[in-house]
Structure 1
Amino acid sequence: MDNILNLTGRVLIALLFLGGAVQKLADPGPVQGMIASLGLPTVLVWPVGLFDGIAAVLLVTGPRVRQVALVMAAYCLLTSWFHWQLRADPWQVTIFVKNWAIAGGLLVLAASGPGRFAR
């Protein structure tokens, strides 16, 4: 049962990143606006979208799950900074906290490993 739960958790986390990749690559405008508001080059949307997609695949298929989970946890903590907008949009604070929660789940995954269902 542990291995099935591990795989299910990996798939659910991966779906979040896959959705983010599709959103960034299909309609980059909103993310480019957020990136530009921080003074960063909007072209970053493309490598970030690809990074999200590749990470999603790696979380599900299993190669180096521990390392991918650690990198993705750091990514979630780093990108949460984009959502710390208390006065501009309070809903973004919820996304900030969600990113930290996902990072926590990824750290647990990094500690436990991919289970039996991984390459």
Structure 2
Amino acid sequence: MADLAVLVGRLLIAALFLGGAAQKLGDPEPVKGLLAGAGWPVWLWIPAMLYNLGAGMALVTGVAVRPVAASLAGYCAVTSYFHFLPDDPWQMTIFVKNWAIAGGCLVLAAHGAGRFALRR
């Protein structure tokens, strides 16, 4: 049961990042706006999209889950910065969700992929 729970958890977290990659690729303007609004270079949407895609696929396959999940926790912490708008309840919900996802990623980083994963 524990390995099945880890697999389902990995897939659910992966879906978020794979969806983020698809969203960034399909319509990069919203993320470019967030980056520009924070004074960051807008071209960062490209490495962010590629990272979302690669990290999501790593979680799906179960390859390198510990380091990928640890890096995803950091990614969630950094991207929460863009949503810290205390006067906007919707953005604050996203801010808190980013930290919750970081927590799930830290659990994966600590416990690994479980039994259902591709192995070399």
How far has the Cα of 1:86 moved from its partner? 1.6
Residue 101 of structure 1 corresponds to 100
Map of 2:67 onto structure 1: 67
Tell me the distance in 2 between the aligned counterparts of 1:80 and 1:105.
Answer: 15
What percent of counterpart residues are identical?
58
Separation (CA, whole Å) in 1 of partners of 2:45 and 2:107: 28
**Deviation for aligned residue 1:2:** 1.0
Equivalent residue runs for 1:46-85 within 5 Å: 46-85=46-85
State the TM-score, normalizing by the size of structure 2.
0.95
TM-score, structure 1 length as denominator? 0.96
SS in 2 for 1:96: helix
Deviations 1:17-72 (A, max 9, x none): 01111101100011100100011111111110111011000011111101100000
- Matching residue's letter, 1:110: A
Name stretches of at least 5 consecutive residues in structure 1 with no aligned partner. Answer: none
Matches within 5 A, 1:1-119: 1-87=1-87, 89-119=88-118
Q: Deviations over 1:82-110 (max 9, x none)?
A: 100122x3210000000000000111111
Q: Structure 2 unaligned segments of length 5 or more: list them.
A: none
CA positional deviation for 1:112? 1.1
Name the count of aligned residue pairs.
Answer: 118
What is the rounded CA distance, in whole Å, between the counterparts of 2:86 and 2:2 in structure 1?
Answer: 39
